[in-house]
Amino acid sequence: MKQFIAALPKVELHLHIEGTLEPELMFALAERNGIKLPYADVAALRAAYDFHNLQSFLDLYYQGAAVLQTEQDFFDLTWAYLSRCQAQHVVHTELFFDPQTHLSRGIEMGTVIRGISRALDQAQTQWGISSCLILCFLRHLSQEDALATLEAALPYLDKIQGVGLDSSELGNPPSKFSEVFARASALGLKAVAHAGEEGPASYIWEALDQLKVCRIDHGVRSVDDPRLIARLAEEQIPLTVCPLSNTRLKVFDKMADHNLLQLLDQDVCVTVNSDDPAYFGGYLQENFEALARDLKASREQLRQLALNGVQASWLPVSRKKTLI
């Protein structure tokens, strides 16, 4: 089964680049930048990755991102992730970055985007791995802050294909960001949003109707609303589901409880993704393996999930055809 999964051409649609920061690289960058981490060593840091909900993870994730300071740091981070893609036969990736996490520390937008995109360009040239870049707004901050962030990205619009919405979901509904998503759409950017991870199904409706997103990130709470499931299936609106993330953040108590195959059975366009692999115990290969092991997903189901990833991507139809 491992070999079957490894041989599938895979596409990743829900990946936070700051969430690929492995403890070893975090320590190396801390040293390079003269930052002292509040952990004795890599083992102590890994031991702290024991989360009970989304917020307990986000606190550590934002703290870890503080070691990222120079363009080279963002290059090294992204290159390390793309090397994993190459090793795992991930042929296309659409990745998120959280500029507000960096702007608030005095790092410039150009530093972040140039570092990430130089690595993306090199992976395309060297390995043929294609990519899209998605600028995420932090939903625990204000819409004004999001608007200012989009403004700061204007000189780099040629390097960005879409906008997203992430961070603390409960109490921060999509409707809070309708203006900034309208502005992004007017600029020609595509849109996605995290919804229905910890938040209710109503947030998924809001993301679709008010933010006009073309995919829902997570969306597993859609099962609470049969009318929503019918719409997702009818319109083939993709969900970018992240199995290891959902179990690590206790969205489901254990993998066997995950509803991914239920969603697939109801004709929803479910895709498999790794979210924050350095924190949640695995990249795309390990997420697929967990479905085979703990949900007893069949080869046919795994192949369908991989195909859904291709279909749900922003690749041109001509390239999709070569992958299905």
- Known binding-site residues for Zn(2+) equal 14, 16, 194, 275
Burial label for 138, CB within 10 Å (0-12, 13-18, 19+), is buried
- Mapping DSSP onto H, E and C, the string for 165-177 reads EECCCCCCCHHHH
Asked if residue 275 binds Zn ion (CB under 5 A), the reply is yes
Residue closer to Zn ion by CB (options 198, 275) is 275
Helix (H) / strand (E) containing 307: helix 299-312
Q: Is there a contact between 191 and 214 (Cβ–Cβ < 8 Å)?
A: yes
DSSP string over 46-109: HHT---SSHHHHHHHHHHHHTT--SHHHHHHHHHHHHHHHHHTTEEEEEEEE-HHHHHTTT--H
Asked if residue 215 binds ligand ES4 (CB under 6 A), the reply is no
Residue closer to ligand ES4 by CB (options 8, 216) is 216
Q: How far is the CB of 207 from ligand ES4 (least distance, A)?
A: 13
Residue 271 binding result from ligand ES4, Zn ion, none, given CB thresholds of 5 to 8 Å by partner type? none
Dihedral of alpha carbons 260, 236, 249, 279, sign: positive
Q: How far apart are CA 37 and CA 27, in angstroms?
A: 8
Residue 94 binding result from ligand ES4, Zn ion, none, given CB thresholds of 5 to 8 Å by partner type? none
What phi and psi values does residue 134 have, to the nearest 5 degrees? -120, 120
Asked if residue 166 binds ligand ES4 (CB under 6 A), the reply is yes
What are the angstrom distances between the C-alpha of 157 and each of 19, 89, 183, 235?
Answer: 23, 29, 13, 29
Q: How far apart are CA 302 and CA 290, in angstroms?
A: 11
Residue 54 binding result from ligand ES4, Zn ion, none, given CB thresholds of 5 to 8 Å by partner type? ligand ES4
Residue closer to ligand ES4 by CB (options 8, 194) is 194
Residue closer to ligand ES4 by CB (options 46, 320) is 46
Residue closer to ligand ES4 by CB (options 199, 309) is 199
List 12, 94, 197, 289, catalytic entry? 197
Residues in contact with Zn ion, counted by CB under 5 A, come to a total of 1
Strands (E), the chain: 10-16, 90-97, 130-138, 162-166, 190-195, 215-218, 239-241, 270-272
Which stretch in 47-55, 109-117, 184-192, 275-283 sits in contact with Zn ion by CB under 5 A? 275-283
Residue 69 binding result from ligand ES4, Zn ion, none, given CB thresholds of 5 to 8 Å by partner type? none
Bind-site residues? 14, 16, 194, 275-276
Asked if residue 16 binds ligand ES4 (CB under 6 A), the reply is yes
Asked if residue 94 binds Zn ion (CB under 5 A), the reply is no
DSSP string over 84-95: HHHHTTEEEEEE
Asked if residue 102 binds ligand ES4 (CB under 6 A), the reply is no
Nearest Cα to Cα of residue 101 among 65, 154, 71? 65
Kindly write out the interface string for residues 250-289 of this chain, putting x where it contacts ligand ES4 by CB under 6 A and - elsewhere: -------------------------xx-------------
Residue number closest to Zn ion, CB atom: 275
Q: How far apart are CA 323 and CA 10, in angstroms?
A: 9
Kindly write out the interface string for residues 54-93 of this chain, putting x where it contacts ligand ES4 by CB under 6 A and - elsewhere: x------x--------------------------------
Q: Dihedral through CA 118, CA 245, CA 294, CA 88, nearest 10?
A: 10
- Please give the residues from 167 up to 196 whose contact with ligand ES4 meets the rule CB under 6 A: 167, 194
Residue 31 among the catalytic residues: no
Kindly write out the interface string for residues 18-47 of this chain, putting x where it contacts ligand ES4 by CB under 6 A and - elsewhere: -x----------------------------
The residues annotated with a catalytic role in the active site are 197
Residues in touch with Zn ion (CB under 5 A): 275
